């Protein structure tokens, strides 16, 4: 029990005191149990008052304080800091909100507002009397990070984390690193080949011996928490004998005659069943398509020294202090028949076109016919006002236009049509749009309500579209190739990943951060961060920016070897707990585990995982689990305090009078406004004049007069020509 | 349903248009154009049609003729798409389209062809003089005859059929119904425009341009009348002689001012002068100036010994009459007036 409590009640410069009788309440509470001092102050948050509070705490040896003022959202930390500076544990501080909860909403009933405020403050005093001094929880963390996904975001983050001295486990589901960007020969706006970027990053990764890369690997199981995640990973075999020499593998590859669709090229080409995505793909280790080769007994026997189809998945356990998820996106896959996709052979998606461009060095040939006229249809699978994907993918406009520029550069005599809804080439990408339209690409604007229709002619595709830039004129376009500019969607496996790490996903199925502006790479799971396009559509630069910012967040977190966490979490009374398991059942974060304690089983809370949400406390039949700072004692005493009779001598304040100055109802205004109006008394005055007369700082008068002007209480009338100040007067 | 045709852009660029593909349909050009009225989206609509290559829409449109190239649109276009220059090029393209001989198109598109045609006519004049043993009287007599016949032939064989073609593209092909009486009533519009270019008065910048233009047209027509009908070079009437002097002086002075303007490129419309624009003013200047000199030489009795001067004048005249008038920029004067006329009669009364 705290017995030397200090209470501070704030006027908020009239915001509170104009309605709530803070002085009387202050006097009344002086005699409450445990209260040593109780005062009303003009601005509790002002530096001068903070200093007074500190000296009060020291002088009167206060062991707890209550400030009744505005919302804790505004000043909780201000006063916690005051406590700390005075040598008091910040958990012995309680803030009571009598502005947003009393003076503002009940300005029409000042007396009731005062009574309510008094009750709330008393509840606060009772609660603080039961407050405990709690220290932050310190947790040892392992300086190791698991980065899930070795696309450009993951690779960049891994490199930075490793450079800063962390152990990094980088895992990638594919057998080769790099992700989507390896499939594009020319990336906007630098024109670089994605493969080159990946090769460079890979070389850098290899130069750090604290990065361990696992390819063909996925997350199997996650347990543990911030500081000590235990992660099982599953590594698929490559079916190549680890000890086989390179020449033998090369021979087997040359010898292989079984061909399968080349997924890397979207099936436009075939590849051998012993393959790499592309010749320079990294890591430089071939993979065997076991499914395709399993019946080739003779071949397998011939190359038995290097091929081994009996290999099995391997499970490996890792421990990491933190996790960075950079799993990226999937390209939207058009439905069959959407703009003729899959119904007509010459309809492809933008990523497919990019493969075609790379596969055709001199002339663009598709389905054995030269391609001259190309029509791009934008926003496919995106910005569906009625459909599932309502968002815009940000990068597809730029990407499509970049491909169009590349087509013009690489091949002769290409005509490009762009059927768009809006062109969103923000920032420097605008230059590409300008270049493209100047080079003669034709832009036609359609509306979602009247999308273009793709039909097959004898020789070509025929698109009908209403051009909104020519007052909906119906146009017909002949095209050899229709390119669907598809946007980004969340990965197909995003749900599984989210379940494993407990990362929340949005309705758009992308992973959710805590706050898009203030905590953009943090998730609600402590120690788990997200970066890149697994969080939502981003272009490469934006992806890298976000993953690097996550990397620096993680480094800051792990740097000291320990992290300090808020002590407001659940705790179990071992004697009372009978291990019924109810709390563990409701805990969404799986913070509660069953443990053995002496001769019985009880619940134990993992301090690193528990968020203090409190859902477990009420379900416990033996009342064995409670939340620090929200103990039964504290809550019940608050209720008692609030129920106590308020014996408040509320004086009949002027604020209730109907006195009027020059026709304005005075009771609605704060005191300073009334003073200003009285000073004006029907005359016009400038701000410096008012400030002088009232002896109040000019800045404060300026702020208030401007506000009064905004609410039409005063109006301007002419100007003091010499001093260049407006005259203000009361509005009639 | 209109077919999008990207080739049109390539074609129209040969007529001098450039960068109009860059248009992003902001509509600034329409907003600034002082000749655009509330519902015409002029000139943006034609920029859009050209980008899309909607040839039959453009062919049926008389909008290009309604533009007098003040250049305001090009100055304000945020994409530097030069809509004004596009309008100019569309006029050249339309001229070529109306011309049944196809020579207009060749002259606009291929400078070498134009040069060749001019040299060939010059050669023809010299050969003719040679065949007449360089006899001044015969040659001058022929010159006079030539002028009369040239006017008749150019009109009947070329200009009238071309106007008929314009009529076909603008009224008949798009199946616009016009009553006979409307045709007659609209005549007044036709003549007002032909002689005064009234529409330019709507342009913000061009009160003086309009006046100079009017004087040049009147000067040109009356000089033509004075030489052809009143036989300026043959007459003894002092009045006619002085009249001819006055007309030619006015004409070559004003055209000289025009040429200087083009050289200085001080106005938007002069920024991208094409060979055809140069030819028109220079030849007009040369014609007036050489006529003036010829008459002086006659009055001073020099002409017998200086036949070269008359031959020079004759060459300019022939080139003007058989090349510039039927196939060059001269026709704009005609088509513009008819465009106003068609515009007038197209509107339902
Ligand atoms: S970036 Fe462009 S194409 Fe992609 S969804 Fe947005 S507006 Fe559509
Ligand atoms: S307070 Fe919430 S997070 Fe913590 S153990 Fe209880 S239910 Fe789980
Ligand atoms: S001002 Fe330029 S960009 Fe704008 S509509 Fe006109 S031509 Fe197009
Ligand atoms: S040049 Fe002048 S008249 Fe012609 S379209 Fe442009 S603004 Fe209008």
Interstrand relation of A453-456 and B2-3 (parallel, antiparallel or unpaired): unpaired
Q: Where are the beta strands (DSSP E) in A199-312?
A: 211-215, 217-225, 228-235, 259-261, 270-272, 274-275, 287-288
pLDDT at position A264: 96
Domains A5-134+634-653 and A144-227+317-328+491-559 share a fold: no
Q: What are residue B142's phi and psi, to 5 degrees?
A: -60, -45
Residue B25: list chain A partners with CB under 8 A: 445, 469
In 3D space, the residue among A408, A413, A455, A415 whose CA is nearest the CA of residue A432 turns out to be: A408
Task: Say yes or no: B247 and B140 in one domain.
Answer: yes
Give yes or no for residue A52 having a pLDDT over 70. yes
Q: Token digits for A255?
A: 């010898």
User: Which CATH architecture best describes the domain A144-227+317-328+491-559?
Assistant: 3-Layer(bba) Sandwich (3.50)
- Percent of chain A topping pLDDT 90: 78
In 3D space, the residue among A27, A114, A11 whose CA is nearest the CA of residue A67 turns out to be: A11
Which structural domain range is residue B199 located in?
Answer: 103-346
Mean per-residue pLDDT, A488-513: 94
Q: How confident is the model at residue B271 (pLDDT cuts 50, 70, 90)?
A: low
Give yes or no for residue B23 having a pLDDT over 80. yes
User: What is the SS3 assignment for A675?
Assistant: helix
pLDDT at position A660: 43
Task: Write out pLDDT tens, residues A355-382.
Answer: 999 999 999 999 999 999 999 999 999 9
For residue A192, the distance in angstroms to the closest alpha carbon of chain B comes to 26
Q: How confident is the model at residue A608 (pLDDT cuts 50, 70, 90)?
A: confident
Give yes or no for residue B38 having a pLDDT over 80. no
Mean per-residue pLDDT, A540-555: 97
ipTM: 0.83
Residue partners of A427: CB distance under 8 A and separation at least 6: none
Residue partners of A209: CB distance under 8 A and separation at least 6: none
Q: How confident is the model at residue B48 (pLDDT cuts 50, 70, 90)?
A: very high
Give yes or no for residue B182 having a pLDDT over 50. yes
For residue A335, the distance in angstroms to the closest alpha carbon of chain B comes to 28
Is B2 among the domain residues?
no
- DSSP designation for B268: G
User: Which CATH architecture best describes the domain A366-478?
Assistant: 3-Layer(bba) Sandwich (3.50)
The enclosing H or E element of B128 equals helix B111-131
Helix H, strand E, coil C: the string for B176-208 is CCCCHHHHHHHHHHHHHHHHHCHHHHHCCCCHH
Mean per-residue pLDDT, A78-95: 95
Q: Token digits for B90?
A: 């569309």
Is B303 among the domain residues?
yes
Question: Which of B64, B80, B98 is where one domain is finished?
Answer: B98
Q: How confident is the model at residue A703 (pLDDT cuts 50, 70, 90)?
A: confident
Task: Say yes or no: B21 and B159 in one domain.
Answer: no
A143 CA to centre of own chain: 24
Residues making up chain A, counted from first to last:
732
Question: Which of B38, B66, B98 is where one domain is finished?
Answer: B98
A390 alpha carbon – ligand 1 mean position (Å):
11
Mean per-residue pLDDT, B3-23: 92
Cβ–Cβ < 8 Å for B197, B213: yes
The dihedral over CA atoms of B44, B46, B49, B50, expressed in degrees to the nearest 10, equals: -110
Residue A379 CA, closest ligand 1 atom number: 8
Flag if B9 and A477 touch (Cβ within 8 Å). no
What's the distance, Cα to Cα, between the start and end of chain A in Å?
Answer: 58
Q: Which conformational region is residue B203 in: left (phi greater than 0), alpha (psi within -120 to 50 degrees), or beta?
A: beta
Residue keyed to tokens 């040896």: A61
Task: Write out pLDDT tens, residues B315-343.
Answer: 999 999 999 999 988 898 889 889 989 98
Which ligand does the CA of A398 lie closest to?
1
pLDDT at position A719: 85
Cβ–Cβ < 8 Å for B254, B288: no
pLDDT at position B265: 64
Residue partners of B161: CB distance under 8 A and separation at least 6: B100
Question: Which of B72, B98, B124 is where one domain is finished?
Answer: B98
- DSSP designation for A395: S
Task: Say yes or no: B322 and B179 in one domain.
Answer: yes
Burial letters A612-621, b for 16+ CB under 10 A, else e? bbeebbeebe
Range in A21-30, A150-159, B299-308 the model is least confident about = B299-308
Task: Say yes or no: B219 and B309 in one domain.
Answer: yes
Q: Using a CB–CB cutoff of 8 Å, tell me whether B1 touches chain A.
A: yes
DSSP string, A165-228: T-EEEEEESSSSSBGGGGG-SSBTTTTB-HHHHHHHHHHHHHT-TTEEEEESEEEEEEEEETTE
Q: How confident is the model at residue B203 (pLDDT cuts 50, 70, 90)?
A: low
Give yes or no for residue A650 having a pLDDT over 70. no
Q: How confident is the model at residue A667 (pLDDT cuts 50, 70, 90)?
A: low
Q: Using a CB–CB cutoff of 8 Å, tell me whether B3 touches chain A.
A: yes
Q: How confident is the model at residue A662 (pLDDT cuts 50, 70, 90)?
A: very low
Task: Write out pLDDT tens, residues A626-647.
Answer: 999 999 999 999 999 999 988 8
- In angstroms, the CA A51 to CA A42 distance is 14
Residue B45: list chain A partners with CB under 8 A: 470
B73 alpha carbon – ligand 4 mean position (Å):
6
Is B1 among the domain residues?
no
Give yes or no for residue B348 having a pLDDT over 90. no
B168 CA to centre of own chain: 21
In 3D space, the residue among B130, B284, B160 whose CA is nearest the CA of residue B217 turns out to be: B284
* Edge-to-edge strand list for the sheet holding A217-225: A217-225, A228-235, A314-320
For residue B103, the distance in angstroms to the closest alpha carbon of chain A comes to 28
- DSSP designation for B342: H
Q: Where are the beta strands (DSSP E) in A19-153?
A: 35-41, 64-69, 93-97, 137-140, 144-148
Task: Say yes or no: B86 and B40 in one domain.
Answer: yes
Domain boundaries, chain A: 5-134+634-653, 144-227+317-328+491-559, 246-312, 366-478, 566-628, 670-731
Task: Say yes or no: B121 and B242 in one domain.
Answer: yes
- In angstroms, the CA A10 to CA A68 distance is 6
- DSSP designation for A36: E
A266 CA to centre of own chain: 33
- In angstroms, the CA A589 to CA A600 distance is 24
Q: Token digits for A319?
A: 């421990």
Cβ–Cβ < 8 Å for A176, A281: yes
Give yes or no for residue A656 having a pLDDT over 50. no
- In angstroms, the CA B317 to CA B309 distance is 12
- DSSP designation for B321: I
Q: How confident is the model at residue B205 (pLDDT cuts 50, 70, 90)?
A: low
Residue keyed to tokens 């406390």: A617
Cβ–Cβ < 8 Å for A597, A578: no
B244 CA to centre of own chain: 23
Give yes or no for residue B39 having a pLDDT over 80. no
Mean per-residue pLDDT, A238-258: 90
Q: What are residue A25's phi and psi, to 5 degrees?
A: -60, -45
Task: Write out pLDDT tens, residues A611-628.
Answer: 899 999 999 999 999 999
Task: Write out pLDDT tens, residues A155-186.
Answer: 999 999 999 999 999 999 999 999 999 999 99
pLDDT at position A289: 94
Residue partners of A470: CB distance under 8 A and separation at least 6: B45, B48, B49, B52
For residue A428, the distance in angstroms to the closest alpha carbon of chain B comes to 16
Range in A302-311, A545-554, B187-196 the model is least confident about = B187-196
Residue partners of A87: CB distance under 8 A and separation at least 6: A57, A58
Q: What are residue A98's phi and psi, to 5 degrees?
A: -105, 10
Residue keyed to tokens 């509790």: A44
Task: Say yes or no: B167 and B54 in one domain.
Answer: no
Cβ–Cβ < 8 Å for B70, B269: yes
Task: Say yes or no: B214 and B240 in one domain.
Answer: yes
Task: Say yes or no: B88 and B135 in one domain.
Answer: no
- Find the DSSP H helices in A563-643: 582-586, 632-643
Residue keyed to tokens 């099936």: A267
* Closest alpha carbon within chain A to B2: A475
- In angstroms, the CA A554 to CA A322 distance is 7
Q: What are the angstrom distances between the C-alpha of A448 and each of A343, A396, A465, A488, A507?
A: 21, 17, 11, 18, 22
Q: How confident is the model at residue B178 (pLDDT cuts 50, 70, 90)?
A: confident
Give yes or no for residue B229 having a pLDDT over 60. yes
Is B245 among the domain residues?
yes
Q: How confident is the model at residue A658 (pLDDT cuts 50, 70, 90)?
A: very low
Nearest CB among A437, A442, A478 relative to B52 is that of: A442
Residue partners of A428: CB distance under 8 A and separation at least 6: A189
- In angstroms, the CA A332 to CA A537 distance is 12
Task: Say yes or no: B61 and B123 in one domain.
Answer: no
Q: What are residue A323's phi and psi, to 5 degrees?
A: -130, 135
Q: How confident is the model at residue A659 (pLDDT cuts 50, 70, 90)?
A: very low
pLDDT at position B202: 63
Mean pLDDT of chain A: 92
Residue B32 CA, closest ligand 3 atom number: 1
Helix H, strand E, coil C: the string for A465-502 is EEEHHHCCEEEEEEECEEEEEECEEECCCHHHHHHHHC
- DSSP designation for A447: B
Is B337 among the domain residues?
yes
CB within 6 Å of ligand 4 — which residues? B 32-33, 35, 43, 67-73, 83-84, 87
Task: Say yes or no: B242 and B93 in one domain.
Answer: no
Task: Say yes or no: B82 and B182 in one domain.
Answer: no
Give yes or no for residue A476 having a pLDDT over 50. yes
**Domain A5-134+634-653 -> CATH class:** alpha beta
Give yes or no for residue A62 having a pLDDT over 70. yes
Cβ–Cβ < 8 Å for A350, A403: yes
Mean per-residue pLDDT, A638-657: 73
Interstrand relation of A64-69 and A93-97 (parallel, antiparallel or unpaired): parallel
In 3D space, the residue among B269, B256, B247, B275 whose CA is nearest the CA of residue B200 turns out to be: B269
Q: Using a CB–CB cutoff of 8 Å, tell me whether B45 touches chain A.
A: yes
Mean pLDDT of chain B: 88
Flag if A476 and B45 touch (Cβ within 8 Å). no
User: Which CATH architecture best describes the domain A566-628?
Assistant: 2-Layer Sandwich (3.30)
Give yes or no for residue B133 having a pLDDT over 90. no
- In angstroms, the CA A400 to CA A418 distance is 9
Residue B1: list chain A partners with CB under 8 A: 464, 474-476
Mean per-residue pLDDT, B70-89: 92
Domain count of chain B? 2
Task: Write out pLDDT tens, residues A255-278.
Answer: 999 999 999 999 999 999 999 999
Cβ–Cβ < 8 Å for A578, A624: yes
Task: Write out pLDDT tens, residues A198-230.
Answer: 999 999 999 999 999 999 999 999 988 899 899
């Amino acid at each position: 029990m705290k017995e030397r409590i200090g209470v501070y009640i704030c006027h908020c410069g009239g915001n509170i005191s104009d309605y709530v009788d803070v002085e009387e309440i202050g006097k009344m509470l002086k005699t409450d149990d445990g209260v040593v001092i109780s005062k009303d102050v003009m601005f509790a948050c002002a530096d001068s008052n903070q200093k007074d509070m500190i000296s009060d705490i020291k002088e009167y040896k206060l062991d707890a304080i209550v400030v009744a003022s505005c919302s804790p959202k505004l000043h909780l930390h201000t006063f916690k800091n005051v406590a700390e500076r005075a040598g008091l544990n910040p958990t012995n501080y309680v803030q009571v909100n009598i502005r947003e909860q009393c003076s503002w909403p009940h300005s029409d009933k000042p007396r009731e507002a005062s009574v309510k405020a008094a009750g709330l403050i008393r509840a606060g005093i009772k609660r603080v009397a039961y407050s405990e001094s709690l220290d932050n929880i310190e947790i040892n963390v392992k300086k190791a990070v698991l980065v899930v996904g070795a696309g450009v975001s993951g690779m960049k983050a891994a490199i930075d984390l490793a450079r800063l001295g962390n152990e990094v486990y980088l895992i990638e589901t594919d057998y080769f690193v790099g992700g989507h960007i390896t499939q594009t020969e020319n990336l906007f706006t630098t024109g670089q080949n994605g493969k080159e970027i990946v090769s460079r990053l890979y070389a850098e990764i290899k130069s750090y011996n604290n990065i361990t890369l696992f390819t063909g690997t996925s997350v199997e199981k996650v347990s543990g928490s911030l500081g000590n995640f235990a992660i099982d990973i599953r590594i698929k075999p490559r079916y190549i004998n680890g000890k086989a020499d390179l020449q033998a593998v090369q021979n087997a590859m040359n010898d292989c005659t079984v061909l399968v669709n080349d997924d890397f090229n979207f099936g436009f080409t075939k590849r051998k069943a012993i393959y790499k995505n592309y010749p320079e793909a990294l890591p430089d280790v071939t993979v065997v398509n076991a499914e395709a080769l399993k019946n080739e007994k003779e071949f397998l026997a011939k190359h038995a020294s290097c091929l081994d189809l009996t290999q099995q998945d391997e499970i490996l356990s890792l421990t990491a202090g933190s996790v960075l998820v950079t799993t990226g996106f999937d390209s939207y896959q058009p439905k069959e028949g959407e703009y003729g996709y899959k119904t007509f052979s010459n309809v492809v998606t933008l990523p497919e076109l990019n493969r075609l461009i790379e596969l055709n060095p001199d002339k663009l040939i598709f389905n054995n016919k030269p391609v001259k006229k190309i029509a791009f249809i934008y926003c496919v699978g995106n910005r569906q006002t009625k459909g599932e994907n309502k968002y815009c993918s940000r990068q597809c406009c730029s990407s499509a236009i970049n491909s169009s520029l590349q087509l013009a550069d690489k091949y002769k005599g290409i005509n490009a049509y762009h059927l768009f809804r809006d062109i969103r080439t923000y920032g420097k990408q605008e230059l590409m749009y300008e270049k493209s339209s100047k080079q003669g690409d034709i832009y036609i604007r359609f509306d979602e309500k009247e999308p273009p229709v793709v039909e097959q002619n004898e020789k070509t595709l025929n698109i009908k579209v209403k051009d909104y830039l020519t007052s909906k004129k119906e146009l017909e376009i002949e095209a050899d190739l229709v390119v669907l500019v598809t946007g980004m969607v969340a990965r197909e496996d995003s749900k599984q990943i989210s379940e494993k790490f407990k990362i929340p996903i949005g309705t758009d199925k992308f992973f959710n951060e805590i706050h898009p502006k203030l905590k953009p790479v943090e998730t609600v799971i402590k120690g788990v961060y997200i970066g890149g396009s697994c969080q939502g559509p981003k272009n490469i630069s934006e992806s890298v920016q976000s993953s690097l910012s996550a990397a620096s967040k993680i480094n800051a977190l792990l740097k000291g070897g320990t992290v300090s966490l808020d002590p407001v979490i659940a705790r179990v009374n071992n004697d009372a707990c009978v291990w019924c398991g109810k709390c563990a059942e409701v805990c969404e974060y799986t913070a509660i585990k069953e443990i053995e304690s002496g001769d019985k089983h009880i619940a134990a809370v993992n301090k690193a995982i528990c968020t203090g949400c409190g859902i477990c406390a009420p379900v416990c039949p033996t009342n064995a689990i409670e939340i620090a700072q929200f103990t039964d004692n504290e809550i019940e005493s608050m209720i008692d305090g609030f129920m106590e009779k308020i014996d408040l001598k509320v004086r009949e304040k002027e604020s209730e009078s109907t006195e009027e100055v020059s026709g304005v109802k005075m009771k609605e205004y704060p005191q300073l406004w009334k003073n200003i109006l009285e000073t004006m008394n029907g005359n016009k005055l400038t701000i410096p004049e008012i400030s002088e007369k009232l002896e109040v700082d000019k800045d404060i008068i300026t702020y208030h007069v401007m506000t009064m002007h905004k609410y039409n209480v005063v109006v301007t009338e002419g100007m003091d020509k010499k001093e260049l100040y407006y005259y203000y007067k009361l509005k009639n | 349903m209109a077919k999008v045709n990207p080739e049109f852009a390539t074609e129209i660029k040969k007529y001098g248009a450039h960068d109009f593909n860059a248009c992003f349909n902001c509509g600034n050009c329409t907003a600034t154009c002082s000749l655009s009225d509330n519902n015409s989206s002029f000139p943006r609509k034609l920029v859009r049609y050209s980008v899309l290559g909607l040839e039959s829409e453009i062919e049926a449109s008389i909008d290009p003729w309604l533009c007098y190239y003040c250049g305001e649109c090009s100055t304000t276009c945020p994409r530097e798409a030069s809509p004004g220059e596009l309008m100019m090029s569309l006029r050249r393209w339309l001229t070529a389209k109306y011309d049944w001989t196809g020579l207009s198109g060749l002259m606009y598109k291929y400078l070498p062809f134009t040069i060749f045609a001019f040299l060939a006519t010059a050669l023809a004049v010299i050969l003719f003089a040679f065949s007449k043993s360089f006899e001044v009287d015969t040659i001058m007599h022929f010159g006079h005859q030539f002028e009369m016949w040239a006017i008749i032939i150019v009109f009947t064989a070329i200009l009238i059929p071309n106007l008929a073609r314009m009529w076909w593209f603008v009224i008949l092909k798009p199946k616009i119904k016009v009553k006979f009486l409307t045709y007659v009533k609209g005549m007044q519009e036709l003549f007002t425009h032909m002689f005064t270019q009234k529409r330019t008065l709507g342009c913000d910048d061009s009160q003086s341009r309009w006046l100079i233009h009017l004087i040049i047209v009147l000067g040109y027509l009356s000089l033509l009348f004075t030489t052809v009908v009143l036989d300026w070079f043959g007459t003894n009437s002092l009045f006619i002689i002085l009249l001819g002097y006055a007309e030619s002086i006015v004409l070559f002075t004003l055209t000289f001012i025009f040429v200087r303007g083009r050289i200085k490129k001080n106005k938007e419309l002069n920024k991208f002068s094409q060979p055809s624009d140069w030819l028109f003013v220079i030849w007009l200047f040369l014609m007036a100036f050489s006529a003036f000199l010829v008459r002086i030489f006659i009055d001073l009795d020099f002409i017998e010994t200086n036949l070269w001067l008359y031959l020079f004048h004759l060459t300019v005249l022939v080139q003007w009459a058989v090349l510039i008038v039927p196939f060059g920029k001269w026709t704009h004067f005609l088509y513009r007036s008819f465009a106003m006329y068609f515009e007038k009669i197209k509107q339902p009364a």
